[in-house]
Amino acid sequence: MDEAQEILINSLENSGISLPTGVFTIKDLTQAALVSICAQSLHRIDNSLSFPASLPDSMAERFKICSEISSAVKSLGYRGDMSFHQFLYPSEEDSYKLVRFLVEKLSEESEGGKVADQEASLRAEEDQSKLTSRNRADKVDSPGVDPDTQTIRAGLKVLRLKEEVSEPLNTLGEEVFINGSVDGLPQNHEPAVADVFISGSPESNEEVGSTKNVKELTEDSLDSRNNASGNKESSAQNNDGHVTELQQKLASLRDQSSKLRIKIEDLRSQENILMKDLTEKSSESQHLEVEHELLKKAVEMALDDQHPVDFYIEDLNKQVEARRQNLVELEAQWDAVEKSLLEKKRILEESFYAQNPELLEKLQKMKEFELETEAIRSEIQKREEEHSRLSVELKNQPKVASRKSYIQRITEITRNSRKQDADIERILKETRELQMESNSIQDRLHRTYAVVDETVFRDAKKDPVRRQAYMLLTSIHESFDLVSQKILATDRARREATEQEAKLAKTASHSLNIDKLQADLEAIRKENEFLEQQQLRRQP
State residue 204's pLDDT score: 42
State residue 171's pLDDT score: 44
State residue 233's pLDDT score: 55
Residue 73 φ then ψ, to 5°: -65, -40
Q: Angle CA(10)–CA(16)–CA(17) in degrees, nearest 5?
A: 75
State residue 191's pLDDT score: 38
CA separation for the pair 169, 126 (Å, rounded): 59
Which pLDDT band holds residue 24 (cuts at 50, 70, 90)?
A: confident
Q: What is the mean pLDDT of residues 376-397?
A: 88
Chain-centroid distance, C-alpha 347: 43
In this predicted structure, the answer to whether residue 162 has a pLDDT above a threshold of 50 is: no
State residue 373's pLDDT score: 92
15 SS3 class: coil
Contacts of 249 (CB under 8 A, 6+ apart): 214, 217
E strand or H helix that includes residue 272: helix 232-303
CA separation for the pair 106, 10 (Å, rounded): 13
Q: Are 256 and 208 in contact (CB under 8 A)?
A: no
Three-state helix/strand/coil letters over 55-123:
CCCCHHHHHHHHHHHHHHHHHCCCCCCCCCHHHHCCCHHHHHHHHHHHHHHHHHHHHHHHHHHHHHHHH
Share of the chain above pLDDT 90, in %: 10
State residue 380's pLDDT score: 94
Q: What is the mean pLDDT of residues 265-289?
A: 89
Q: What is the pTM of this model?
A: 0.36
**Higher pLDDT pick, 157 / 418:** 418
Structural domain boundaries in the chain: 1-109, 304-355, 361-397
State residue 383's pLDDT score: 92
State residue 7's pLDDT score: 74
SS3 content of the chain, % helix, strand, coil (to 5): 85, 0, 15
Task: Convert the pLDDT of each residue in 53-91 to its tens digit.
Answer: 777 777 778 888 888 888 888 888 888 778 777 777 777
In this predicted structure, the answer to whether residue 145 has a pLDDT above a threshold of 50 is: no
DSSP 437-503: HHHHHHHHHHHHHHHHHHHHHHHHTT-HHHHHHHHHHHHHHHHHHHHHHHHHHHHHHHHHHHHHHHH
Q: What is the mean pLDDT of residues 162-178?
A: 43
18 SS3 class: coil
Q: What is the mean pLDDT of residues 154-172?
A: 47
In this predicted structure, the answer to whether residue 23 has a pLDDT above a threshold of 50 is: yes
State residue 436's pLDDT score: 92
Task: Convert the pLDDT of each residue in 88-101 to its tens digit.
Answer: 777 778 888 888 88
